C-alpha cells in the first residue's frame, strides 16, 4: 500500500439551518487504498461526501488533491479534479442508453459520436465483466447493473478518487463480490476509494482504513487491523456494547394468559395467500422469511393495504371487516410501511404535520386538530422519541433516515394503536436508533400494545419478539417461541430443514 | 450473449412514435377509403402542411421543452404577437429581412426572459409562461385591436411564393390542371424540423435535454449544467415561436389580435399525440410532426363528415387526446410490468 496522501480534507465545516452538520472534520485518502467512511445516520458521512463532490458548498476548511488546494463548486468541478461518485440511489438517466449514460456530460465535441461511444462502452463493460449492452436503455437493466454502469463511467473517467456511497445495498452476494473484485482492481491501479456502507463485514472484507464520524465530528482514523468490529460499532454509536445484548428476555408462560387481540382466519389479499394468524395483547411477534416469502404481503393484508379477498377477522373476539387502511386504523391497528420514502414520510411537510397525519385522518377532515394541539403533540413525541430535528417545523425530508423513521413511529403512536405493525422499521438506520426502536417496541408491549415486528435481521427479531412466524414461498411454515427462538432454529425453519414446528394454529 | 447484431427493443420514445405514425397512416387510409373526395388528392396533405406549418414549428419547440421536463404555454401568444408586430412593421415601410429579424428577436426575448426565470430563479414553468402568455396577448391587443392586412410589395412576393408540382396535381371540374401547391412556410417548417431532429439526435445538447427530463438530479451528477440546458430549451422554444409567427404571417397575410388563439394547446396536444410525455425525458420530433398531422387529419375528417360546427372539432380533439394518453399509459405500464 502506498502512502502518498491523494486527498486531504482539513477542518471541513458545514452548517445547515439550525444544525452543525460537520464540525471541523478531517479526512485523508491515500493512493491505492480503500478507505471506509463510517458513522451512524446523521453522523455527517453523506454531508462530507456531498461537500467533496460539490453538491454542497462547505462553510469552512480546505480540500487538497495531490497537495494542491482546490475549490469544488459543482459536480463538474469535482469530476474535473478526478473525483467521481457512485451514489446509493442510481444517478444515471433511465431514459438514455447505457453508452450515453457513460459518456454524457463529458463529451469533448458538440456532436455525439454514437458509434464511438458504443464501441468504447462495450469494451469497458466487457473488461469489467458487466452484463449490459451499450445500446440498451438503462431503465431496462437491473439495479445492480445500473450501479455497475455508474462505476464503469467513473472508472473510465480516469478518476483518482472514487466515492462509493452505499454501493452494495441493492446487490446480491455474487454481485457484491464482483464489485469488490472491481474495487481491488482499481486499488491496484492507484485509485483511492472512499467506501460508505452500513454493512460492517463488507468494511472488513475490502477496506484498508476506517474513518469514523459521529454527530458531525471526527472520532478517529484507524487501520482495519487496529479496530475490531465490536470497537468500531461502539465508536460509531458512542456507547459500550453491553447494552446491545442485554435486552429482551421473555417470560413465555405469561404470554398465553393474555387475551387475544387480533385473530384472522384464512385471510388473503390480492398479494397474499390465505393464512391464519392471531396476536395477544402485549405480545411482540415477528414475521420472518426471505425476501419474497410473503411476510410483508401478509401484514399488509392485516392492515387492508392491499385488496383483501377473503377471510374472517376478529378483534377482541368480535367479527370485523377490514378491507381498507382506514378501517384498520379505526380498529386500533397501525402500520408502519416497509418503504419509508415511498409509503411513509411526506418529505416536504414539517415534522409536526407528518406526526399528526394519521390522527387527523382518523378524526376526519371535519374535526381539524388545532395548531396548538398539534404543536404540543409534536413536541411531546419529539422529546419522547428523541427525534433530532432543528425544530418541529423542519421539513421531514431534511432529517436523517433514522429520525424520519422516528417521525413515522410518532405518527402511529399518536393514534394510540392497540396493535402496531412495524415492517422493517430499522432498515437503513443506524445502530443507536435501532436500539432505541427495539426498546420502544418492548415498552409498548409492556403497556399492553400488540406489536408485529418485521426485520430482515434475524438477531434483531430474536431480541424483541416472543414469537416468530416463519414464512417460505408465501406460506407460513412454522411458528417458533420460547427456547426455539434462536438463530439456528430460525434458519432451519426458513430453509425448510427440520419441520417439526409446522404445527398450524 | 452480446453479439453486435443484437436488436434492441424499441425505446419508449420510439414505441410511442411508431404507434402515432401507424395510427396516422391508418386513419388517413380510412379517410381515403370512406370519405374519398379531397383525401384522394395529394393536395390534401399539402394543404394540411400549408395551414399548419406554424403549428408544426411551435410544436417542435414545445417538444424540446417537454422533453426537458418543462412546459411552455406562451407559444401561441408569442406567435400572435409576432404576427401583429411583423404586419405593423411591414406596413410602416419595414423590410422583409427586418421583419424576419424582428420575429426572431421577439421570440428570443420571450425565450430568454422566461428561460431565466424558470431555470435560474426556479419558478414554476407553468406560472412563468402563463404570465408570458397574458403579457404577449395583451401586448398584441395594444398594438392593434383591429385586424391589419399586410400591404408590402416585397412581402407579397414572399407570400405568393409557392412550389407547384404539376404531376401531383389533379384536374378540376372544368378540366384544368390544378397543380399541387406548397407554400414557403412549409419549407421553413421542414428546415426547423430537420434542425430540431439533428439537435435532439446528434448533438450533445440534445441528449442533455433528455437527461434533465429523465432525472434532473442524475443529470446534475453526470456533470450536465442543468440550469443552462433548461434555459436553452426555453430559448429555442421562444425562437421557434417567433419563426412560427413569421410563417403564420406569410400564410395569412394579416394580423389579428385573436391570431393563433389556442395554438399552445394544439401544440401541446400534437406533442403528446406524438409520444412526448408531460413528465419529461421521452419524446421525438418525428412523433411530434406526425402528431400535428394526426390532429389536423382528425379535424379534416370531422369537417368532411359534414360536422361543420366548430365544437365538433374540439370534441374530437379532446376525445383523441384522451385516447392517446390512455394508450400511452397502458402501453408503458404493460411494458414496465413485463420487465419485472
Averaged confidence pLDDT in chain A: 81
- Which of B1, B211, B221 should be substituted to probe chain A, the one whose Cβ sees the most A Cβ atoms within 10 Å? B221
Chain B positions touching A104 (Cβ under 8 A) are 204, 207-208, 211, 222-224
First to last CA, chain A: 59
Per-residue burial over A97-130, b if 16 or more Cβ lie within 10 Å, else e, is bbbbbbbbbbbeeeebebeebbebbbebbeebeb
Helical H segments across A208-314, by residue range: 229-237, 242-245, 252-255, 295-303
Residue A271 near chain B (CB below 8 Å): no
Residues from chain B contacting residue A114 (CB–CB below 8 Å): 202
Q: Given a cut of 60, is residue A374 above it in pLDDT?
A: yes
Mean pLDDT of chain B: 88
A26 near A201, Cβ under 8 Å? no
- pLDDT-derived band of residue A498, with 50, 70 and 90 as boundaries? very low
pLDDT of B182 > 80? The answer is: yes
How far is residue B10's CA from residue B287's CA, in Å, rounded to a whole number? 14
**pLDDT recorded at residue A241:** 46
Task: Confirm if A58 and A51 have CB atoms less than 8 A apart.
Answer: yes
B3: confidence class by pLDDT, cuts 50, 70, 90: very low
* Beta carbons of A93 and B220 less than 8 Å apart: no
- Please give the span between the terminal C-alpha atoms of chain B, in angstroms, as a whole number: 20
Q: What confidence score (pLDDT) does residue B106 get?
A: 96
Residue extents of the structural domains in chain B: 42-328
Q: Which of A53, A248, A140, A115 is nearest to B12 (CA)?
A: A140
Span A359-382, mean pLDDT? 84
pLDDT tens-digit map of B185-233: 999 999 999 999 999 988 989 999 999 998 888 888 787 889 999 999 9
pLDDT more than 90, % of chain B: 47
pLDDT score at B292: 93
**Nearest CA distance, A367 vs chain B (angstrom):** 33
Number of helical H runs and strand E runs in chain A? 18, 20
DSSP labels, A338-375: S-IIIII--TTSBHHHHHHHHHHHHH-TTSPPPHHHHH
Cβ-contact A74, A118 below 8 angstroms:
no
Contact A95 B223 (CB under 8 A): no
- Residue A156, CA distances (Å) to A80, A182, A186 in order: 13, 13, 11
Instruction: Give the tens place of pLDDT for each residue, B214-225.
Output: 888 888 878 788
Q: Is the pLDDT of residue A77 over 60?
A: yes
CB B197 within 8 A of CB A103: no
**Domain B42-328 in CATH 1.10.540:** no
Q: How confident is the model at residue B289 (pLDDT cuts 50, 70, 90)?
A: very high
Which cell is B92 given? Answer: 410602416
Q: Angle A82-A88-A89 (CA atoms, 0-180°, nearest 5)? A: 105
| Count of CB pairs separated by less than 8 Å, A with B | 89
Is A372 in CB contact (< 8 Å) with chain B?
no
Number of alpha carbons in the 13 Å side-chain half-sphere of residue A137:
20
Q: Does A104 touch chain B (CB under 8 A)?
A: yes
Domains plus CATH for chain A?
A: 5-241 (3.40.50.300), 245-495 (3.40.50.300)
Question: What is the per-residue pLDDT for B82?
Answer: 95
Q: What is the pLDDT of residue A256?
A: 60
Asked whether the predicted pLDDT for residue A315 surpasses 50, the reply is yes
pLDDT at residue B79 in the model: 95
Question: In the predicted model, is pLDDT for residue B9 greater than 80?
Answer: no
Indicate the range of A85-89, A294-298, A401-405, B76-80 predicted with least confidence: A85-89
CA distance A273 to chain B (A): 20
**Residues in chain B within 8 Å Cβ distance of A90:** 218
Tell me the whole-structure pTM to 2 decimals.
0.70
The SS3 assignment for B215 reads coil
**What does the alpha-carbon distance between residue B5 and residue A175 come to, in Å, rounded to a whole number?**
27
A100 close to B (CB below 8 A): yes
User: Any CB–CB contact under 8 A between A127 and chain B?
Assistant: no
Length of chain B in terms of residues written? 340
Nearest to A161 by CA among A71, A73, A84: A84
Q: Cα–Cα distance between A502 and A370 in angstroms, integer?
A: 51
- In whole angstroms, what is the distance from residue A124 CA to residue A132 CA? 11
DSSP string, A134-195: TTSBGGGS-HHHHHHHHHHHHHHTT-SEEEEESTTTT--HHHHHHHHHHHHHHHHTT-EEEE
The ipTM of this complex is 0.79
3-state secondary structure A110-138: CECCHHHHHHHHHHHHHHCCCCCCCCCEH
Nearest CA in chain B to A150: B222
Contact B11 A109 (CB under 8 A): no
Which residue in this structure is represented by grid cell 403579457? B135
In this complex, is the C-beta atom of A77 within 8 Å of any C-beta atom belonging to chain B? no
Band (pLDDT 50/70/90 cuts) for residue B97 is very high
Tell if the CB–CB gap between A76 and B11 is shorter than 8 Å.
no
A109 touches chain B (CB under 8 A): yes
* Chain B closest-CA separation from residue A111 CA (Å): 4
Spatial separation of the C-alpha atoms in residues A340 and A429, rounded to whole Å: 11
Three-state SS letters, B134-173: HHHHHHHHHHCCCCEECCCHHHHHHHHCEEEEEEEEEECC
Q: Are B56 and B292 in contact (CB under 8 A)?
A: yes
Q: Which residues of A touch B205 (CB under 8 A)?
A: 110
Phi, psi (deg, nearest 5) at residue B24: -60, -50
The 10s digit of each residue's pLDDT in A173-229 is: 777 888 888 888 888 888 899 998 877 778 888 899 999 988 888 988 999 888 887
**Partner residue facing B218 (CB), from A76, A92, A112:** A92
Amino acid at each position: 500500500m502506498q502512502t502518498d496522501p491523494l486527498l486531504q480534507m482539513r477542518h471541513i465545516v458545514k452548517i445547515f439551518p439550525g444544525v452543525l452538520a460537520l464540525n471541523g472534520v478531517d479526512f485523508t485518502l491515500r493512493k491505492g487504498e480503500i478507505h471506509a467512511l463510517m458513522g451512524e445516520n446523521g453522523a455527517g458521512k453523506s454531508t462530507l461526501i456531498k461537500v467533496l463532490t460539490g453538491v454542497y458548498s462547505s462553510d469552512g476548511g480546505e480540500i487538497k488533491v495531490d497537495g494542491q488546494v482546490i475549490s469544488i463548486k459543482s459536480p463538474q468541478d469535482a469530476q474535473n479534479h478526478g473525483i467521481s461518485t457512485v451514489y446509493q440511489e442510481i444517478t444515471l438517466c433511465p431514459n438514455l442508453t447505457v453508452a450515453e449514460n457513460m459518456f454524457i456530460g463529458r463529451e469533448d465535441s458538440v456532436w455525439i459520436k454514437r458509434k464511438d461511444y458504443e464501441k468504447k462502452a462495450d469494451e469497458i463493460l466487457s473488461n469489467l465483466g458487466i452484463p449490459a449492452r451499450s445500446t440498451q436503455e438503462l431503465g431496462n437493466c437491473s439495479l445492480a447493473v445500473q450501479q455497475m454502469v455508474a462505476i464503469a463511467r467513473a472508472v473510465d473517467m480516469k478518476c483518482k478518487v472514487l466515492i462509493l456511497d452505499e454501493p452494495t445495498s441493492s446487490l446480491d452476494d455474487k454481485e457484491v463480490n464482483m464489485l469488490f473484485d472491481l474495487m481491488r482492481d482499481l486499488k491496484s491501479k492507484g485509485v483511492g476509494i472512499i467506501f460508505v456502507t452500513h454493512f460492517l463485514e463488507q468494511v472488513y472484507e475490502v477496506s484498508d482504513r476506517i474513518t469514523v464520524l459521529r454527530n458531525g465530528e471526527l472520532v478517529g482514523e484507524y487501520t482495519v487491523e487496529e479496530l475490531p468490529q465490536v470497537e468500531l460499532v461502539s465508536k460509531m454509536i458512542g456507547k459500550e456494547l453491553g447494552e446491545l445484548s442485554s435486552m429482551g428476555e421473555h417470560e413465555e408462560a405469561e404470554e398465553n394468559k393474555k387475551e387475544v387481540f387480533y385473530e384472522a382466519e384464512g385471510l388473503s389479499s390480492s398479494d397474499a395467500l390465505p393464512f391464519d394468524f392471531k396476536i395477544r395483547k402485549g405480545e411482540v411477534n415477528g414475521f420472518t422469511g426471505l425476501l419474497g416469502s410473503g411476510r410483508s404481503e401478509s401484514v399488509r393484508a392485516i392492515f387492508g393495504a392491499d385488496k383483501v379477498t377473503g377471510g374472517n377477522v376478529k378483534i377482541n373476539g368480535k367479527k370485523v371487516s377490514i378491507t381498507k387502511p382506514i378501517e384498520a386504523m379505526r380498529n386500533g391497528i397501525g402500520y408502519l410501511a416497509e418503504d419509508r420514502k415511498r409509503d411513509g414520510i411526506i418529505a416536504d411537510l414539517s415534522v409536526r404535520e407528518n406526526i399528526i397525519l394519521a390522527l387527523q385522518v382518523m378524526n376526519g377532515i371535519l374535526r381539524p386538530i388545532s395548531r396548538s394541539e398539534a404543536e404540543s403533540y409534536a413536541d411531546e413525541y419529539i422529546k419522547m422519541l428523541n427525534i433530532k430535528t432543528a425544530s418541529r417545523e423542519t421539513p421531514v425530508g431534511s432529517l436523517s433516515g433514522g429520525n424520519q423513521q422516528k417521525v413515522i413511529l410518532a405518527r402511529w403512536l399518536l393514534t394510540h394503536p392497540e396493535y402496531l405493525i412495524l415492517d422493517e422499521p430499522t432498515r437503513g438506520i443506524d445502530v443507536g436508533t435501532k436500539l432505541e426502536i427495539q426498546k420502544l417496541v418492548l415498552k409498548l408491549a409492556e403497556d399492553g400494545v400488540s406489536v408485529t415486528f418485521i426485520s430482515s435481521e434475524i438477531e434483531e427479531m430474536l431480541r424483541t419478539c416472543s414469537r416468530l412466524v416463519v414464512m417460505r414461498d408465501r406460506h407460513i411454515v412454522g411458528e417458533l417461541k420460547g427456547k426455539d427462538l434462536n438463530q439456528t432454529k430460525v434458519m432451519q425453519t426458513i430453509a425448510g430443514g427440520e419441520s417439526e414446528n409446522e404445527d398450524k394454529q | 450473449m452480446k453479439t453486435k447484431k443484437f436488436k434492441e427493443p424499441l425505446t419508449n420514445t420510439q414505441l410511442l412514435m411508431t404507434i402515432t405514425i401507424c395510427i396516422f397512416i391508418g386513419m388517413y387510409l380510412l379517410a381515403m377509403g370512406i370519405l374519398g373526395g379531397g383525401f384522394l388528392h395529394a393536395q390534401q396533405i399539402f394543404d394540411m402542411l400549408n395551414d399548419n406549418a406554424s403549428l408544426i414549428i411551435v410544436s417542435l419547440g414545445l417538444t424540446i421543452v417537454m422533453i426537458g421536463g418543462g412546459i411552455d404555454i406562451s407559444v401561441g401568444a408569442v406567435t400572435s404577437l409576432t404576427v401583429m408586430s411583423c404586419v405593423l412593421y411591414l406596413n410602416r415601410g419595414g423590410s422583409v429581412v427586418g421583419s424576419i429579424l424582428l420575429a426572431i428577436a421577439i421570440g428570443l426575448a420571450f425565450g430568454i426572459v422566461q428561460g431565466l426565470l424558470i431555470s435560474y430563479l426556479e419558478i414554476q414553468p407553468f406560472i412563468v409562461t402563463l404570465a408570458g402568455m397574458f403579457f404577449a396577448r395583451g401586448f398584441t391587443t395594444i398594438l392593434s385591436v383591429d385586424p391589419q392586412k399586410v400591404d408590402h410589395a416585397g412581402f407579397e412576393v414572399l407570400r405568393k411564393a409557392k412550389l407547384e408540382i404539376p404531376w401531383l396535381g389533379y384536374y378540376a371540374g372544368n378540366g384544368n390542371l390544378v397543380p399541387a401547391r406548397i407554400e414557403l412556410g412549409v419549407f421553413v417548417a421542414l428546415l426547423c424540423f430537420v434542425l430540431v431532429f439533428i439537435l435532439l439526435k446528434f448533438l450533445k445538447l440534445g441528449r442533455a435535454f433528455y437527461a434533465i427530463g429523465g432525472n434532473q438530479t442524475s443529470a446534475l451528477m453526470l456533470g450536465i449544467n442543468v440550469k443552462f440546458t433548461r434555459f436553452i430549451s426555453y430559448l429555442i422554444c421562444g425562437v421557434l415561436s417567433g419563426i412560427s409567427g413569421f410563417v403564420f404571417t406569410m400564410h395569412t397575410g394579416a394580423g389579428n389580435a385573436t391570431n393563433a388563439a389556442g395554438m399552445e394547446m394544439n401544440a401541446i396536444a400534437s406533442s403528446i399525440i406524438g409520444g412526448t410525455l408531460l413528465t419529461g425525458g421521452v419524446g421525438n420530433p418525428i412523433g411530434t410532426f406526425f402528431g400535428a398531422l394526426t390532429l389536423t387529419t382528425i379535424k379534416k375528417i370531422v369537417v368532411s363528415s359534414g360536422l361543420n360546427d366548430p365544437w365538433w372539432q374540439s370534441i374530437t380533439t379532446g376525445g383523441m387526446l384522451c385516447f392517446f394518453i390512455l394508450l400511452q399509459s397502458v402501453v408503458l405500464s404493460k411494458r414496465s410490468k413485463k420487465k419485472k
